[in-house]
Structure 1
Amino acid sequence: MLDLRPPAQPPMTRAFALLPLLAALAALAAPRPAGACDCALLGPTFHPPYVPEAFAAAVTTTEEVAGLTCRPARRGRLACTWSARYVLTRAGATDVPLTFAYPTGADIVVRLGGDIVASSIAALDPRFGVGQRELFVTWPAGQVNDIVVEVRADLQIGPAACGCDAGRTTNRRRHPLVSPAGLPDYAVDYRPQPGPESVRLSLELRRPWREHRPGLFPGGEGRRITRDLRKDGDEPIKLAFKTPLRLDPGGPIAGVGLGFSPEGLRPRLRLGWELAWPQMWVHSLVIETDARARVAVIPAWELTYPRVPHRLVPDSGVGVGAPIQLAPLARPGVRVFARLGWLWCHLLGTFDVYPAFRGAPPERLGSLMLQFGL
């Protein structure tokens, strides 16, 4: 009978055949270099008054001052005010149309010579693009030829978009629904006109902050920093910074499993809330019960990765807690625990020791639970 099976390969040949697969897995699991996430942060963009080409030769900007002031808002956002001031000079007595481009969602007010000439509501339909709108103003011929243009825009700024994976911080990977904004990075772009040669910029953030490269402003807290910057052609000026001490909301946790106690094996249920601050230190407060007689409140603290190098790498951590048993006997205890899992699903193992207390003998309890986050 003819044997149609392929000839058997020696073990070494089979090992070499697996090398490409092993190399691909190693590349996926390998941590990224430190500079891999140095990407361009994308945020809302502001523009100075735009003069159409037919009128541009007759209008000159002699002074340009702009500033950004922000304060913390809900869900990791910043409530910011962009204010700008321009001194325009025209060579002839004619109507000059001006266009103001501003980010979608901002409320903007434009003043000419101190008088409000235009304003917007965030619910207006976009005039162009998805992220930008524009406002049209006429500088009438009857006004003076040197005029002060003031712009004020109020908006909320969320964490800046970036090409890197922003979903691997502790709060984000464990609670993707409650903590959608995992990175405390913010950015605002300003695209000035070629003239004048310099612009005066200021930045004020009412909490500690640290600026991204290139650092235009030194970090500060609750103070306004102003700098005169020379323009680099048509290149935008980026205000990109982070708030390293921001407290993220974290999210709820729920777990179910088995626990052992002096009564034997029983179900173990837990429900609570946890958050990470800073991102490597997880704080939690939960209620646990065996659904029969035991109830305990457990504050706990866990040390984990602030970021995981790859999605295939499990999220692990170890921690300690201070369980306070409420039933059947009120008594304090000590807990150690370990966690291992991916994203919002984890395997949690705990071990509690309750020392002798008010005549009651010491007790040792443990559990193995499957825990979920939202």
Structure 2
Amino acid sequence: MAVPAAANVAASTRTPAAFTLSQGGARTRSEVLGEELSFDCSEAEREEACHFEARYRLRNGTSEVEVIDAAFLGIRVSEVRVAFDGEPLPVAPAPMASPESTPLTGDAVQASPSPEEALGRLARTAVERFGFTLTLPPGRGGELVVRGVVRLERRFLPSGYEWPAVQARHVLLSSPPQATSWDIDYLLGPIRTWAGNPELHVTVRIPSAWEVGSSPDASARTRPEAAGWQVRRKGAHAVAERRIEGASAPEWFNIALTRRKPWWAPGGLQLGVGARLGGASRFMARLGYQLAAPESFLHSLSVETDFREQLVLTPLTQYATPQLFILPSLGLGAGVPVQVLPEARPGVRLLVDLHLGPVGAAFSWDHYPRLREGLEPFSRLALLLQVGL
């Protein structure tokens, strides 16, 4: 946002800008009629930066020339360029001085809020100031355009004490990709140092698979919310829009970009040893591979044998709850066991398992129906101890 200095009555003199964010009153006679703020984040994943453009519609409705020492204040911004009605303006970048050390002169003297009151967690964040001078003749309007690059700040969102089943069961081999969020923190308070009550229209261009949201305090490590944003998706990109009234705008505005995690996650190997229950009880062993798609559904393909006469291949799908701290993950599944030896025949399997981390137990019931003459139907129960890798 531009932070203008208040002009004295004489057009040939002017006062330096106050570097506080919002002084509580208009500092210029010229008005901001509206602002269009756009971010192009289509290459954000590769560059971890977005290109921004802020367009201000200005009007000097008075009968006098107003000369304004203004500045664009930004957080993690660079390559800032300023133009008025298409004509480039010289820009002088400099770190922003603290409110306590900034001299105020003339009608710029007002009580200013402390940095903690104005910005909260951003009070100790480095703010860059890009100064420029703007001259507005009487009765004239125009468009002020500020362009630049804003670096994204990655947000850390701890998982807490909840782990998806595929991650808890396969701690060695499974490293499922997580959703990643980046923050843009944009200062809105300085616009109050201009006259007028403009509406701010924000647009953000992102990859189609991403989401846009906002968080009132990124330091709280809370997940961003999409409330207030309207998203249109077309092809490989999406455009998110939001409107904010200048009078009710916060001192700073958070834009959170989130790359959703993939719909599937790799798992790992699963080893099991146990026994077939019933009258014909025998030692059993199982070896399989498991993955998640989506996160709560586990899909596996396993081979089982008693090392004597039976060999079974089983594709299986199960719903599994996440592990909550010391509360184990519970799974309920169904599959199709295909007996290869002693004779080939398909069946139906129901399975219940319980896992605390990579260690668990599985109870299964298999039923093989009679599909042709000479093959009698039968059912089998098995209990195995399992270890996930």
TM-score under structure 1 length normalisation: 0.57
**Offset of residue 241 of structure 1:** 7.9
Question: Which runs of 5 or more residues in structure 2 are unaligned?
Answer: 6-14, 20-26, 59-65, 91-123, 134-141, 192-197, 214-223
- Residue number among 145, 149, 161 corresponding to 1:148 in the alignment: 145
Alignment pair present for 1:299 and 2:312? no
For residue 251 of structure 1, what is the amino acid of its counterpart? G
Alignment match, 1:161: 157
Q: In structure 2, what is the Cα distance between the partners aligned to 1:176 and 1:72?
A: 31
Q: Match for residue 313 of structure 1?
A: 327
2:253 counterpart residue number? 237
Shift of 1:271: 1.9
TM-aligned CA deviation for residue 337 of structure 1? 0.6
Q: Are 1:82 and 2:41 counterparts?
A: no
1:285–1:297 CA contact under 8 A, matched in 2: no
User: Residue 273 of structure 2 corresponds to which residue in structure 1?
Assistant: 257
Q: Helix, strand or coil: the match of 2:272?
A: strand
Deviation at 1:150, TM superposition (A): 2.0
Mapped partners of 1:49, 1:296: distance in 2: 72
Identity %: 15
Per-residue CA deviation, residues 52-96 of structure 1 (Å, 9 max, x unaligned), is: 9965579999645133656998xxxx997633113589x8799x9
Bigger-Rg structure (1/2): 2
Instruction: Give how far 1:246 is off.
Output: 5.1
The letter of the residue matching 1:283 is L
Alignment of 1:102-121 (within 5 A): 102=76
1: CA distance between counterparts of 2:272 and 2:305?
10
* C-alpha distance in 1 between matches for 2:225 and 2:367: 50
**After superposition, what is the alpha-carbon deviation per residue over 1:9-58, rounded to whole angstroms, capped at 9, x for unaligned?**
xxxxxxxxxxxxxxxxxxxxxxxxxxxxxxxxxxxxxxx68999965579
Task: Measure the CA separation in 1 of the matches of 2:310 and 2:329.
Answer: 30
Give the conservation status (yes or no) of the 8 Å contact 2:212–2:240.
no
Task: Indicate if the aligned counterparts of 2:50 and 2:150 stay in contact, CA closer than 8 A.
Answer: yes
Name the structure 1 match of 2:346: 332
For 1:202, give the aligned amino acid. T
| RMSD of aligned alpha carbons | 5.2
* 2:350–2:364 contact (8 Å) kept in structure 1: yes
Q: CA deviation at 1:202?
A: 2.2
Q: Which residue in the other structure is 2:284 paired with?
A: 267
CA distance in 2, matches of 1:68, 1:137: 22
State the AA in 2 paired with 1:206.
Answer: S
Given residue 337 of structure 2, which amino acid in structure 1 is its aligned partner? P
Deviations 1:283-324 (A, max 9, x none): 31222232735443322222333x56x423222122111123
**CA offset at residue 217 of structure 1?**
1.2
Cα offset for 1:176? 4.9
Deviation per CA, 1:222-261: give whole Å up to 9, x if none. Answer: 4423222135565432345878895141411312212328
Residue of structure 1 aligned with 2:37, choices 65, 76, 79? 65
The question of whether the paired residues in 2 share the 8 Å contact of 1:286 and 1:299 is answered with yes
> Which string of whole-angstrom CA distances, capped at 9 and with x for unpartnered residues, describes residues 129-183 of structure 1?
xxx9989797789xxx98633234586967x515x7263343443345634555x
Q: In 2, distance between residues paired with 1:154 and 1:167?
A: 31
**Distance across 2 between alignment mates of 1:263 and 1:109:** 77
Aligned residues: 297
Q: Distance in 2 between matches of 1:179 and 1:344?
A: 14
Higher relative contact order (CA 8 A, sep 6+): 2
CA 1:217–1:55 in 2, change beyond 3 Å: closer, same or farther? same
Amino acid at match of 1:151: G
Distance 2:325 2:273 in 1: 26
- Residues 170 and 276 in structure 1, CA contact (< 8 A), matched pair in contact too: no
Q: Where does residue 228 of structure 1 map in the other structure?
A: 243
Helix, strand or coil: the match of 2:265?
A: coil
Question: Which residue identity lines up with residue 38 of structure 2 in the other structure?
Answer: A
> 1:188 and 2:183 equivalent?
yes
How has the CA–CA distance of structure 1 residues 220 and 304 changed in structure 2, closer, same or farther, with 3 Å as cutoff? farther
Q: 1:326 to 1:157 in 2, by over 3 A?
A: farther
Cα distance in 2 for partners of 1:314, 1:176 equals 14
Q: Per the alignment, in what secondary structure is the counterpart of residue 173 of structure 1?
A: helix
Distance 1:110 1:355, change over 3 A: farther
Letter in 2 for 1:290: T
Which residue in 1 is equivalent to 2:386?
371
Residue aligned with 2:168, SS? helix
Q: Which residue of 2 aligns with 1:170?
A: 165
Gaps of 5+ in 1: 1-47, 118-131
The residue type equivalent to 2:384 in the other structure is: M
Q: 1:350 matched to which residue of 2?
A: 364
Residues 181, 255 of structure 1: CA spacing in aligned structure 2 closer, same or farther, 3 A cutoff? same
Change (3 A) 1:138 1:241: closer
* TM-score normalised by L of structure 2: 0.56
SS at match of 1:346: strand
Contact 2:266–2:290, Cα closer than 8 Å, also in 1: yes
* C-alpha separation in 2, matches of 1:185 and 1:320: 33
